[in-house]
Structure 1
Amino acid sequence: MRFFKFANESAIWRRIALCVCVASMPLASPAEPMHAIAMYGEPALAPGFDHLPYANPEAPKGGTIRLAETGSFDSLNPWILMGNPVWPIFTQPGLLTESLMTRSIDEPFTLYGLLAESVETDPDRTWVEFTLRPEARFSDGSPVTIEDVMWSYEMLGTKGHPRYTTVWSKVATMQQTGPRSVRFTFNTPDRELAMLMGMRPILKKAQWQGRDFDRSSLMVPVGSGPYVIDRVDPGRSISFRRNPDYWGRDLPVSRGLYNFDVIRYDYFADASTMFEAFKAGEIDVWRELVAARWDRDFDFPAIRDGRVVKSEIAHQRPSGIIGLVMNTRNPLFADWRVRQAMIEAFNYRFINMTLSGGKDPRISSYFSNSELAMEPGPATGREAELLAPFADQLPPGTIEGYSLPKGGTRAIDREGIRAALDLLRQAGWTVQDGELRDAAGRPFAFEILLNQSGSAMRTSAETRQIVDIFVQSLRNLGIRPQVTLLDAAQYVERTNNYQFDMTWYERGLSLSPGNEQLLYWGHKGVTQTGSKNWMGMNVPAAEAMIAEMGHAGGAEDYRAAVRALDRILTAGRYVIPVSYSRISRLAHASRLDYPEKTPLYGDWPGFMPETWWQKEKK
């Protein structure tokens, strides 16, 4: 087993402080072309750098890596809301399509030129301008033009997924400023917009002529990335083949990456079936999220004879939020006291010991495991100042301090049940003839919706075990929820339209939260389909903190705004959180290898399969 940690943690945190927080020194000069742009401070890599620090420029090329997903797909267009897309096109940015800039996962938020050879902006970042590389080409050999760029931005901004349209509304003008350059001017003060404009996929305009961009399709997109789509078996598998004529193979941001000749994704009905396929050697990599399973279930023949090895990869990214989310669009969960009662009834301590061996810590806030997490106790300083104007709108604990119940070691946590019953009574619910009812006699009834294919973090069997224990606990409150399992397509349809009361929820968060937080927690998501705001929250204070993050004037201001947002989300009691891991556990074929330099984000999009390679046979 390999276990890599950062060699100099103090140096890493100094780098985080430099990059995540607003640096005091200004840009070198207004409107000076730059090779890279950081959210705050200066990029870590100077002009003329050789390769990204977590890439191996000596990595051999060739071979195949076989990966897997759960569920199915019926579309090759992941940039719109419609359809059930093949997600590797979107979640592995840069494989098929490219953007003007590309992200380094060894820095909180820094972009380096990819399709663009340079980026320019003013000190206040009211506009940003990109200049294309003249050698940039699509996989069919045609040049990437400013016309392609501007068409892509307009289509994504007007007909694309809400993650694109939300930001597009903040663009006042888009204009061509030269044969290979385009400028975006903003109508909103927000430093992050200059970064976000560099991260949109660039598509070939000519391919989409006469087609409806906002309709799902199995048409193979033409991109400029290092891979092309080789084979598609709708709903079952997709293969990417490395393009030997890839235009950007010698760029510093590409050197040492994209080493496999073939990247194949197979789809499985559920995670349990997928794990059996991994044990049988049909797929090459397995991410294990449960520490107890990592210790208990990895003693099969391929491990014993060395065909499969276990690697643990450290990271310093936030925990994000994982657990059961309550949909406040349902009046049943609109009262924070009811949501807190559900949290009290969820005996996490017993569940964690029973299913996970108690090894991984519980998520205590949305930014746990990072300097952006709210601190215990009451808000102070700038954080308290930001929250003060909203004090009368926020639930108890937001400003004073909030913590989760400890739970008990037995299946029935009597202290938690008593606390839950008291909260429910305050909210107008009492047990009548063994059933929880309101004053009018209506029962406390709701549905827990689950995906029978599981999720990125948990197998279907694991989430069902967690829910089963929770349901048994709820019976002590006179509550008997209905548990519904759906196939992946039905589940996506219902969650996209918020047709659930409670469901499993997973949201990863970065070290540089910004505009994307509006898609997660903004009020538009209450009615706009396809947002990440599954809880249906409409909290002006949350949006005010997100705005503050965008134009923070210093290191402390930015951190205070994120921590204030963390307080609002956590004390909002929207999610019953479970555990997270401070490391990533990857079991993989021993013929595969990856660089010993672990990026700041660890196992994150951009790490695997991008930095991995197949060992040369001896």
Structure 2
Amino acid sequence: MKPLRTVIISGLFFCAAANAAPQHALTLYDEPPKYPANFKHVDYVNPDAPKGGTFRESAMGGFDSLNPFISKGVPADNIGLIYDTLAQQGLDEPITEYGLIAGKIEKAPDNSWVRFYLRPEARFNDGHPVHAEDVVFTFQTLIKYGSPIFRTYYADVDEVVAEDPLRVLFKFKTTTNRELPLILGQLPVLPKHWWAERDFAKGSLEIPLGSGPYTVAEVKPGRSIRYERVKDYWGKDLPINKGLYNFDYRITDYYRDNTVALEALKAGQFDFWQEISAKNWANAYNVPAVAEGRLIKEEIPNGNPTGMQGFVFNIRKPMFQDVRVRKAISLLMDFEWTNKQLFSGAYTRTRSYFENSDMAATGLPGPDELAILEPLRDNIPPAVFTEAFEPPKTDASGMIRAQQREAYQLLQEAGWRIVEDKMVDASGKPLSIEFLLAQTEFERILLPFKRNLADLGIDLEIRRVDVSQYVNRLRSRDFDMLVGSFPQSSSPGNEQREFWKSSSADNPGSRNYIGLKDPAIDQLVEELIDADSRKSLVAHAKALDRVLQFGYYVIPNWHIKTYRVAYWDHLGHPNVSPRYDVGVATWWIKPDKAAAVPLETDTTADPASGGD
């Protein structure tokens, strides 16, 4: 988001406005949306889903804040349920938004501005109407006091104007950022009147006011949070909301150990679990409840690009600033052995930052990509033009002599040598890496990697910390390596600045974990954001992908193209799942089915104590 000030709209602006028309939906390239203006509901819901019941889920760690918009504290999971946005994304289209708080949206033909027409019936949950001044207040507040991510994400917004109580106008600095109107549609609207006497920049557990389908009903700091469905929610009958938000209550219990949490699921202490461990999926559900069909295992197709998860190098550290060192260490990750021995062969190695999409770079660059890359030839890795990137591949035997020889050669070329079984630099300082970790599940994966590194005299220390410590160290960039992810949508845009641009490297709230400050990558990111067609977007994504791949900034991990979920049989969900989301908001409680453990007889120990 960007600053705002009162403006005088010129006659030239009115001429442009004459060619625009308010629409019920926004699309990236002005293609028709899937659902027409008179649609009744989306295809991935049950419009007659019963309302009621309590949905219980788990989260890891704890929380100490109910403000997710600042870089202080750890916000509670699902706090976004209390806020409505100007528009809402359809979950079965790559990037289409339908009006939510804004019933109509008007975009300039030249993409120089966007106007949102607020619904007169939109209300905060205290009955106060949602007005344009609330949108302006939200924008200004997030820019001034919010996480630094907002200043980068909305960098192309020039000013915002409350034209009247129900119309708000955003004017842009550029006409080339096609995604910006949709990005602004995702703006959560905060109540100006409620925040007037409060310090937004200070983390707090005071229950905030929103306009969304849920409100916070109970907070047990660090242990659990309970959300209650707003019975007179102003937007409950909107077509985009029909069939959503069916639970009367949503409770999130916090655990400090996922192993304990999984046992709690199997004991019926909560209802739904998204499994991230292939080992658990294969072996941990051999219990009577699964055999009897009371606890259901299901794989739901995931149509999203999987993006990149990997072991991230912090190149702010001197030892990682040489690409040869990063490549050498990457060679020592034996994915094939790990997949066979630890994952039961469930995963595919990730190789692209846009994996599972048409934007993933494969083979050698084609003409469209070369046109983008050639001007940068002297500033990007030469291999971009001559090689197709592939992570190293082994025979899964656990013997990686060839990879170790190549890694040793690269380290020697970079000025490292072995002295008394230790890899040391020219000054005799050993190559020692601290791997920051909050997820216990990764320890067993890192131990074989640690052994492979030790064979070359490299010490890997696995430093496990609690979630609060992890978040603080992540924000302060106090790590050598960690498990990081760079999720992608089907239409990447402004968020790429947060991942890769120089301007985000020193922002504590950004996802530029790597510490990239590369003018060539900066240019590729801006050109991707400015792409004027799907074809151009794909070419620019592939070009960026190649440069990131051959920078060896992460050791690629693995992916699967489904959501693996386990849930108790008192939950129901539509026959058609949303293509781009697991879709929990579309699920419901079956009225004729009891929970595995009724809330009133729940005798589980304090979940937050698990795993200590």
**TM norm structure 1:** 0.91
Shift of 1:526: 1.9
After TM superposition, the structure 1 = structure 2 runs for residues 67-106 of structure 1, keeping only pairs within 5 Å, are 67-90=57-80, 95-106=81-92
Shift of 1:157: 1.8
Any idea what the Cα deviations from partners look like across 1:135-165, whole Å, max 9, x if unmatched? 0011111111111111011101221112322
Contact 1:157-1:167 within 8 A present in 2 as well: no
1:237 aligns with 2:212: no
1:576 alignment partner in structure 2 = 555
1:594 alignment partner in structure 2 = 573
Residue aligned with 1:505, SS: strand
Shift of 1:552: 1.8
Q: Distance in 1 between matches of 2:546 and 2:304?
A: 18
Q: Look up the equivalent residue of 1:227 and give its one-letter code.
A: Y
Q: Look up the equivalent residue of 1:508 and give its one-letter code.
A: P
2:459 alignment partner in structure 1 = 480
Q: Look up the equivalent residue of 1:36 and give its one-letter code.
A: A
1:295 aligns with 2:282: yes
Residue aligned with 1:398, SS: helix
Of 78, 91, 100, which residue of structure 2 is paired with 1:114?
100
Contact 1:159-1:165 within 8 A present in 2 as well: no
Contact 1:78-1:87 within 8 A present in 2 as well: no
2:49 alignment partner in structure 1 = 59
Of 256, 270, 274, which residue of structure 2 is paired with 1:269?
256
Contact 1:148-1:203 within 8 A present in 2 as well: yes
Shift of 1:506: 2.2
1:438 alignment partner in structure 2 = 425
Shift of 1:391: 1.6
1:349 alignment partner in structure 2 = 336
1:39 alignment partner in structure 2 = 28
1:383 aligns with 2:362: no
Q: Distance in 1 between matches of 2:238 and 2:135?
A: 20
Q: Distance in 2 between matches of 1:71 and 1:175?
A: 41
Q: Distance in 2 between matches of 1:484 and 1:65?
A: 34
Q: Look up the equivalent residue of 2:589 and give its one-letter code.
A: Q
Any idea what the Cα deviations from partners look like across 1:434-487, whole Å, max 9, x if unmatched? 111122222112211111xx2xxxxx1x30011111110001111112221111
Q: Look up the equivalent residue of 2:587 and give its one-letter code.
A: W
Of 508, 531, 550, which residue of structure 1 is paired with 2:487?
508
Shift of 1:583: 0.9
1:193 aligns with 2:168: no
Contact 1:438-1:444 within 8 A present in 2 as well: yes
2:516 alignment partner in structure 1 = 537
Contact 1:497-1:530 within 8 A present in 2 as well: no
2:161 alignment partner in structure 1 = 175
2:588 alignment partner in structure 1 = 613
Shift of 1:411: 2.5
Contact 1:175-1:182 within 8 A present in 2 as well: yes
Q: Distance in 2 between matches of 1:507 and 1:87?
A: 19
Any idea what the Cα deviations from partners look like across 1:259-295, whole Å, max 9, x if unmatched? 0000110010021111111111111111112334322
After TM superposition, the structure 1 = structure 2 runs for residues 84-483 of structure 1, keeping only pairs within 5 Å, are 84-90=74-80, 95-188=81-174, 189-376=176-363, 378-400=364-386, 401-451=388-438, 454=439, 460=440, 462-483=441-462
Q: Distance in 2 between matches of 1:391 and 1:330?
A: 26
2:602 alignment partner in structure 1 = none
Residue aligned with 2:122, SS: coil
Q: Look up the equivalent residue of 2:26 and give its one-letter code.
A: I
Q: Percent identity?
A: 40
Shift of 1:178: 2.6
Contact 1:336-1:395 within 8 A present in 2 as well: no
Number of residues of Structure 1 aligned to a counterpart in Structure 2: 575
Residue aligned with 1:281, SS: coil
1:16 alignment partner in structure 2 = none
Q: Look up the equivalent residue of 2:500 and give its one-letter code.
A: W
Residue aligned with 1:481, SS: strand
Q: Distance in 2 between matches of 1:28 and 1:554?
A: 23
2:5 alignment partner in structure 1 = none
2:526 alignment partner in structure 1 = 547
Shift of 1:359: 2.3
Shift of 1:55: 1.3
Any idea what the Cα deviations from partners look like across 1:276-325, whole Å, max 9, x if unmatched? 11111111111112334322221112212332111110122111111211
Q: Distance in 1 between matches of 2:17 and 2:360?
A: 32
Q: Look up the equivalent residue of 1:318 and give its one-letter code.
A: P
Contact 1:138-1:224 within 8 A present in 2 as well: yes
Q: Distance in 1 between matches of 2:60 and 2:550?
A: 33
Contact 1:308-1:588 within 8 A present in 2 as well: yes
2:11 alignment partner in structure 1 = none
Q: Distance in 2 between matches of 1:526 and 1:553?
A: 27
Q: Using the TM superposition, name which of 408-417 and 124-133 deviates more.
A: 408-417
Any idea what the Cα deviations from partners look like across 1:468-525, whole Å, max 9, x if unmatched? 1111000111111222111111111001111000111123211111001101111122
Residue aligned with 1:216, SS: coil
Q: Distance in 1 between matches of 2:351 and 2:315?
A: 21
Q: Distance in 1 between matches of 2:91 and 2:461?
A: 42
Contact 2:69-2:147 within 8 A present in 1 as well: yes
Q: Look up the equivalent residue of 2:24 and give its one-letter code.
A: H
Shift of 1:29: 8.1
Contact 2:51-2:588 within 8 A present in 1 as well: yes
Q: Using the TM superposition, name which of 544-553 and 151-160 deviates more.
A: 544-553
Q: Look up the equivalent residue of 2:104 and give its one-letter code.
A: S
Any idea what the Cα deviations from partners look like across 1:143-191, whole Å, max 9, x if unmatched? 1111111101110122111232213332212112233101010112311
Q: Distance in 2 between matches of 1:236 and 1:293?
A: 25
1:30 aligns with 2:9: no
Contact 1:124-1:191 within 8 A present in 2 as well: no
Q: Distance in 1 between matches of 2:507 and 2:249?
A: 38
Contact 1:329-1:526 within 8 A present in 2 as well: no
Q: Look up the equivalent residue of 1:442 and give its one-letter code.
A: K
Contact 1:314-1:602 within 8 A present in 2 as well: no
Shift of 1:396: 4.0
Shift of 1:58: 1.1
Q: Look up the equivalent residue of 1:294 and give its one-letter code.
A: W
Contact 2:389-2:550 within 8 A present in 1 as well: yes
Q: Distance in 1 between matches of 2:77 and 2:544?
A: 29
Contact 2:149-2:507 within 8 A present in 1 as well: no
Residue aligned with 1:477, SS: coil
Gaps of 5+ in 1: 1-26, 455-459
Q: Distance in 2 between matches of 1:57 and 1:371?
A: 33
Any idea what the Cα deviations from partners look like across 1:504-561, whole Å, max 9, x if unmatched? 1123211111001101111122211121011111122222222222222333211101
